[in-house]
C-alpha cells in the first residue's frame, strides 16, 4: 500500500459500494411489470416527478466536467475557463422552449430518441441515421470525460494504472445493464448531496485558510501577469462569447439531456425544473474558482496532469476523512452522467440503427435486450478513449463533442418549430458543417502557454485562429459556432435549389397539436401493465402507429 492514502481510499470505496448497491436495487425501485421495454429500461417508465427529475437532470448536466475540467482550465488558462457559468445561465431558457415541445410530441407518438422524432418529422431514414450516429459519437468523449474524473481522484489517492478504472467501468456497466435509467436516477440523490456538501465546505474552509479572496485573486493575477488571466484580454472575448453560446446550444442537443427530460411525467415537471436548475450555476461558479484557489495554495498537479488539480487541492486543504468524502462526490458525480449517457446512446443505436436497418420486426423485448448490450459497448468505447488518448485538459473532449452534436440542431431543434427546410438540404448541411468542424479541429494545436511548445499538433482544443480564415487579427472563435453557421447556410441554399428542382420532400407524420399535449391529453397513454408484450411504439421505419386506433 506504499504511496496509497488509506483513509481517503477507504471512504471513497465505502461510498462507491453504497451507490453500487443502490444501482442494483434500482431495478426494484418503482418496479414495473417488466423492465424489458425501452420505455421502462431506457426512460424509467416516463413517470419521474419534480424531485426525481431535478436530481436526474442536475446529475446529468453537472458532471465530472464541473468538478474537474472547468477548475483545471481556470488553473491553466485563467478567466477563459469561466465560460461555463454564462453558458449554463442562458441554457435553461433554451431548454424550456425546446424540450417541452419535444416531450409532448414524443409522448403522443411514442418516441424514445431524438432521431425517432427526426425520422417522422422529415420522413427521412437517412437523416435519422445521421442524427443517431452523431449523437452516439458525440456522447463517447463525454462519457470518457466522466471516467477521467474518476481517474484524477484515484491518481490523487495514489492508485495508479488502468485496472481501477476498468473495475469501476465494469461495476457501472453491470448495474446500468440491470436497472436502466432508474439506477442513475436513484444514485443522483447521493451524488448531489455530496456535491453540495463539498462545495459549501470548500468555499468556506479553503479561502479562510488561504487568507481570503484578495489573496486568491492576487495569486492568480501574479501567475498570469497583467491581469490577463483574471480578466479576459480583448483578443479572447470573441472566443469566450461564441464558446458560451455554442456550448449552450449544444448541451440540450445531447442524447442524455433529452433522455433525462423525456423520462419526466408531464410538461409542468419540465417547466419547474428549468426554472429551478439555474441554482446549479451558482455552485458551478464557485467550483470554477477552485482553480484560482489551487494557484494561491501552491498546489501542483499529480504527475503533471492538470485534471488532478482539484483533487490535489482538496487533499492538501482538507483532513483525510473529508478529502475522501470530496473524492467520493467527484467519483459519483462521474458515474451518474456516464450511466445516463450510455443509456441514451444505446437507445439511439437500438431504435434508429438496429431496428431500422437490421431487424425491422424486432419486438419490445428484443429492443431492450439490444439496448442493454449496446450500453456496454458504448462504455467500452469511452474506456478506450481515455486509455489511448491523453488530452492535457479533459475539457477538450467535451468541447470536441459539442462541435459534433451542434450539427443536429437544424433537423432537431429548428425542426420542432418549422418544417421549412428540405430533408436532403438538412443532410447536405450536416455534411458541410461536420466537414468544416472536423477540419478546423484537426488544425488546432495544443500549445503550452508558458513555453510556446506544441504539446499536441491536432485536436488540441476548439479555439480556431481567425488568421487561418484570412482575417488580420489574433482573435480566435469557437469552432462549433463556425461549423453550425456553415451547416445552416448550406441547408438554406440547398433548400431553395431542391425546391426549384421540385424534389419530393416526404410526409410529416406529426401534427401541430402533438407539440402541446400534456399528461392529461387522451392521446398520451400510460404503459399497459404487461409492457413486455407491448408492440413497439413505431412501425419498422420508426414512424409511429396511430395513437388512437379506431377513432
pLDDT single digits (tens) 20-30: 999 888 878 87
Q: Decide if 315 is inside a domain.
A: yes
Residues paired with 465 in a beta bridge: 476
Q: How far apart are CA 311 and CA 328, in angstroms?
A: 11
| Mean pLDDT on 103-120 | 94
Residues 6+ apart with CB under 8 A from 343: 41, 42, 176, 180, 181, 184, 256, 259, 371, 375
pLDDT tier for residue 533 given thresholds of 50, 70 and 90: very low
Q: Residue 463's beta-bridge partner residues? A: 478
Q: Chain-wide mean pLDDT for the chain? A: 84
**Highest mean pLDDT out of 64-73, 294-303, 530-539:** 294-303
Burial 525-545 (b: 16+ CB within 10 A, else e): eebeeebbebebbbeeebbbe
Say what the pLDDT of residue 484 is. Answer: 96
The 10s digit of each residue's pLDDT in 256-281 is 989 988 999 899 998 888 888 887 77
Chain-centroid distance, C-alpha 385: 16
- The rounded distance, in Å, linking the Cα atoms of 330 and 64 is 6
Burial grade of 434 (CB within 10 A; 0-12, 13-18, 19 or more): buried
Whether 99 maps to a domain, the answer reads yes
Mean pLDDT to the nearest integer, 77-100: 84
How confident is residue 358, by pLDDT bands cut at 50, 70 and 90? very high
- Does 437 map to a domain? no
pLDDT confidence tier of residue 32, bands split at 50, 70 and 90: low
Percent of the chain's residues with pLDDT above 90: 39
Q: Answer whether residue 531 shows pLDDT above 60.
A: no
CATH number of the structural domain spanning residue 18:
1.20.1730.10
Residue 283: per-residue pLDDT = 80
Place of cell 458543417: 433
From 116, 416, 98, select the one nearest 270 (Cα to Cα): 98
Q: Give the per-residue pLDDT at 407.
A: 96
pLDDT value for 464: 87
Domain residues for the domain of 251 are 6-26+35-395
Whether the predicted pLDDT of 284 surpasses 70: yes
Q: Does residue 253 fall inside a structural domain?
A: yes
pLDDT of residue 344: 94
Q: Are 343 and 259 spatial neighbours (Cβ–Cβ below 8 Å)? A: yes
Q: Measured between alpha carbons, how far is residue 206 from residues 157, 169, 404, 500 in Å?
A: 20, 32, 38, 65
Count structural domains, the chain: 1
Q: Which residues is 44 bridged to in the sheet?
A: none
Average pLDDT over residues 31-54: 82
**Do residues 352 and 131 lie in contact, with contact meaning Cβ atoms separated by under 8 Å?**
yes
pLDDT value at residue 525 = 57
Q: Is residue 234 part of a domain?
A: yes
Work out the percent of the chain whose per-residue pLDDT is above 70.
Answer: 90
Tally of residues, the chain: 551
The CA distance from 488 to 498, in Å, is 15
pTM of the complete model = 0.88
Q: pLDDT for 481-499, tens place per residue?
A: 999 999 999 999 999 999 9
Say what the pLDDT of residue 160 is.
78
pLDDT of residue 302: 87
Q: pLDDT at position 547, please?
A: 38
Residue 482 lies in a domain: no
CB of 140 closer than 8 Å to CB of 405: no
The answer to whether 240 and 232 have CB atoms below 8 angstroms apart is: yes
336 belongs to a structural domain? yes
21-30, 74-83, 122-131, 360-369: range with highest mean pLDDT: 122-131
Give domain status of residue 201, yes or no: yes
Amino acid at each position: 500500500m506504499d504511496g496509497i492514502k488509506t483513509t481517503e481510499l477507504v471512504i471513497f470505496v465505502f461510498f462507491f459500494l453504497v451507490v453500487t448497491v443502490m444501482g442494483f436495487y434500482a431495478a426494484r425501485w418503482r418496479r414495473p411489470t417488466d423492465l424489458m421495454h425501452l420505455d421502462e429500461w431506457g426512460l424509467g417508465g416516463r413517470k419521474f416527478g419534480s424531485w426525481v427529475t431535478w436530481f436526474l437532470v442536475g446529475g446529468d448536466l453537472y458532471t465530472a466536467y464541473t468538478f474537474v475540467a472547468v477548475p483545471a482550465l481556470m488553473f491553466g488558462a485563467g478567466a477563459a475557463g469561466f465560460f461555463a457559468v454564462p453558458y449554463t445561465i442562458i441554457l435553461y431558457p433554451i431548454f424550456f422552449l425546446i424540450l417541452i415541445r419535444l416531450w409532448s410530441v414524443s409522448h403522443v407518438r411514442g418516441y424514445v430518441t431524438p432521431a425517432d422524432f427526426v425520422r417522422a418529422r422529415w420522413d427521412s431514414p437517412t437523416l435519422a441515421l445521421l442524427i443517431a450516429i452523431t449523437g452516439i459519437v458525440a456522447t463517447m468523449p463525454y462519457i470518457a470525460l466522466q471516467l477521467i474524473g474518476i481517474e484524477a481522484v484515484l491518481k490523487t489517492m495514489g492508485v495508479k494504472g488502468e485496472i481501477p478504472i476498468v473495475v469501476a467501468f465494469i461495476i457501472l456497466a453491470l448495474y446500468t445493464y440491470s436497472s436502466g435509467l432508474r439506477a442513475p436516477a436513484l444514485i443522483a440523490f447521493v451524488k448531489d448531496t455530496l456535491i453540495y456538501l463539498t462545495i459549501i465546505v470548500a468555499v468556506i474552509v479553503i479561502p479562510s485558510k488561504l487568507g481570503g479572496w484578495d489573496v486568491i485573486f492576487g495569486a492568480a493575477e501574479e501567475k498570469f501577469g497583467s491581469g490577463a488571466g483574471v480578466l479576459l484580454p480583448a483578443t479572447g472575448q470573441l472566443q469566450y462569447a461564441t464558446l458560451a453560446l455554442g456550448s449552450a446550444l449544444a448541451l440540450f442537443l445531447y442524447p442524455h439531456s433529452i433522455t433525462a427530460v423525456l423520462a419526466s411525467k408531464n410538461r409542468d415537471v419540465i417547466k419547474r425544473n428549468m426554472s429551478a436548475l439555474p441554482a446549479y450555476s451558482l455552485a458551478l461558479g464557485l467550483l470554477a474558482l477552485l482553480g484560482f484557489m489551487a494557484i494561491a495554495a501552491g498546489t501542483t498537479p499529480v504527475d503533471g496532469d492538470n485534471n488532478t488539480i482539484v483533487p490535489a487541492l482538496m487533499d492538501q486543504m482538507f483532513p483525510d476523512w473529508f478529502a475522501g468524502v470530496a473524492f467520493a462526490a467527484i467519483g459519483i458525480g462521474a458515474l451518474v452522467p456516464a450511466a445516463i449517457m450510455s443509456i441514451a446512446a444505446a437507445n439511439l443505436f437500438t431504435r434508429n440503427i438496429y431496428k431500422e436497418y437490421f431487424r425491422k420486426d424486432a419486438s419490445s423485448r428484443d429492443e431492450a435486450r439490444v439496448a442493454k448490450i449496446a450500453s456496454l459497448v458504448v462504455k467500452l468505447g469511452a474506456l478506450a478513449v481515455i486509455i489511448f488518448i491523453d488530452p492535457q485538459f479533459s475539457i477538450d473532449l467535451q468541447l470536441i463533442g459539442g462541435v459534433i452534436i451542434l450539427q443536429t440542431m437544424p433537423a432537431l431543434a429548428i425542426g420542432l418549430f418549422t418544417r421549412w427546410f428540405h430533408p436532403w438540404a438538412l443532410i447536405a448541411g450536416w455534411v458541410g458543417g461536420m466537414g468544416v468542424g472536423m477540419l478546423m479541429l484537426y488544425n488546432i494545436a495544443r500549445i503550452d502557454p508558458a513555453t510556446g511548445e506544441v504539446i499536441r499538433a491536432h485536436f488540441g482544443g476548439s479555439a480556431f485562429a481567425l488568421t487561418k480564415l484570412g482575417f488580420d487579427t489574433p482573435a480566435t472563435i469557437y469552432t462549433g459556432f463556425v461549423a453550425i453557421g456553415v451547416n445552416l447556410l448550406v441547408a438554406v441554399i440547398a433548400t431553395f435549389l431542391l425546391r426549384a428542382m421540385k424534389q419530393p420532400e416526404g410526409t410529416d407524420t406529426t401534427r401541430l397539436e402533438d407539440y402541446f399535449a400534456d399528461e392529461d391529453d387522451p392521446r398520451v397513454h400510460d404503459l399497459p401493465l404487461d409492457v413486455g408484450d407491448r408492440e413497439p411504439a413505431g412501425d419498422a421505419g420508426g414512424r409511429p402507429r396511430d395513437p388512437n386506433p379506431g377513432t
